[in-house]
């Protein structure tokens, strides 16, 4: 049986190329995320090939960067090694099964993954468990229903078997996270072919 994880194992090869097409919102997203993690102990979930990791490593104290797809972790390790980042450790981990003690991290970065997880409540609970009290969740997320262009592009991407579970607008993203108990401290809509809703807050 083919799983959603298999999609990401296969997609690791061309993920960076797809992000060149969809990367319009990235500069502002990386600027905001880098400011949020300054001097913090960070867990990054669903780090993919490390596009976000290598940017936020410039300001974070240290980062444990994780993804559940082995092929993604391999790409991530290469990128971290090439950038000579001594403050990043890479591990394979499922967002639902984070093998860290409770209250470990100042910040959890979950970039472009909350629209993908089948069980959002379980993913948030798992993140919340490893965050210190009043720790920060940084969750910039592609919003496939934000514009007509995004909607159209998203339909095309879906034909390739893209395993999306939620079609957010920037508004529905903040509403959903508030409903999950997040007190939002910053939100911005970052424009692009598929806009990103940038959200950070604490539980």
Ligand X SMILES: C[S@@+](CC[C@H](N)C(=O)[O-])C[C@H]1O[C@@H](n2cnc3c(N)ncnc32)[C@H](O)[C@@H]1O
Window 51-70: contact mask with ligand X (x via CB under 6 A): xx--------------xxx-
Nearest CA among 26, 25, 24 for reference residue 53? 26
Pairing of strands 41-45, 62-67: parallel
Q: Does 112 bind ligand X (CB under 6 A)?
A: yes
Among 104, 109, 65, which Cα is nearest to 83's?
65
Residue 73 Cβ vs ligand X, minimum distance, rounded to whole Å: 9
Print burial letters for 102-130: b (CB count within 10 Å at least 16), e (below 16): eebbbbbbbbbbbbbbeebeebbebbbeb
Structure tokens at 81: 């090694």
Q: Which of 25, 48, 135, 201 binds ligand X (CB under 6 A)?
A: 48
Least separation, in Å, of the C-beta of 64 and ligand X?
13
Stretch that binds ligand X, among 91-99, 131-139, 143-151, 172-180 (CB under 6 A): 91-99
Stretch that binds ligand X, among 43-51, 100-108, 165-173, 184-192 (CB under 6 A): 43-51
Near ligand X by CB under 6 A: residue from 46, 137, 190, 199: 46
**Dihedral of CA 22/4/106/86: which sign?**
negative
Q: Report if residue 113 touches ligand X, rule: CB under 6 A.
A: yes
Answer yes or no whether residue 8 interacts with ligand X by CB under 6 A. yes
Residues that bind ligand X (CB under 6 A): 8, 19, 45-48, 51-52, 67-69, 72, 94-96, 111-113, 116-117
């Amino acid at each position: 049986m083919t799983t959603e994880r298999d999609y990401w194992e296969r997609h690791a090869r061309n993920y960076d190329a797809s992000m060149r097409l969809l990367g319009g919102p990235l500069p502002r997203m990386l600027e905001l995320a880098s400011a949020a993690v300054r001097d913090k102990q960070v867990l990054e979930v669903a780090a993919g090939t490390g596009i976000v990791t290598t940017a936020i490593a410039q300001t974070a104290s240290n980062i444990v960067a994780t993804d559940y797809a082995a092929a993604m972790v391999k790409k991530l390790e290469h990128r971290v090694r090439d950038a000579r980042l001594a403050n990043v450790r890479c591990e394979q981990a499922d967002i639902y099964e984070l093998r860290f003690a409770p209250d470990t991290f100042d910040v959890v970065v979950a970039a472009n993954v909350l629209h993908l997880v089948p069980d959002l409540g379980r993913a948030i609970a798992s993140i919340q468990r490893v965050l210190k009290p009043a720790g920060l969740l940084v969750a910039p997320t592609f919003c496939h229903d934000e514009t007509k262009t995004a909607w159209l592009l998203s339909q095309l991407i879906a034909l390739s078997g893209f395993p999306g579970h939620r079609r957010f607008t920037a508004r529905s993203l903040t509403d959903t996270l508030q409903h999950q108990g997040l007190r939002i401290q910053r939100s911005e809509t970052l424009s692009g072919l598929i806009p990103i809703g940038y959200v950070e807050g604490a539980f």
